[in-house]
Amino acid sequence: MPSDSEIFTLGHSPDPDDAFMFYAMAENKIDLRGYRFEHRLEDIQTLNERALRGELHISAISIHAFA
């Protein structure tokens, strides 16, 4: 079970595909089993850069950043 105080930062873009993937989490439509997330909506280039710096717990990235 997760810690009561830990909140995971979750980075994704405001684009429709990401919005669709994270809607259920953001709107509490599914049981997250006590996990808590702070959604950070940013453009993909910013997310790529933040992921490389390790600033977010979880992040969407582009295929170019992954390669």
Predicted confidence at residue 58, as pLDDT, reads 96
Residue-wise pLDDT tens digits, 23-58: 999 999 999 999 999 999 999 999 999 999 999 999
Amino acid at 37: F
Predicted confidence at residue 66, as pLDDT, reads 87
Strands (E), 1-67: 8-12, 37-41, 58-59
Predicted confidence at residue 2, as pLDDT, reads 66
- Of 24, 64, 22, which is closest to residue 39 (Cα–Cα)? 22
Predicted confidence at residue 67, as pLDDT, reads 81
Provide CB contacts within 8 A for 65, sequence distance 6+: 48, 51, 52
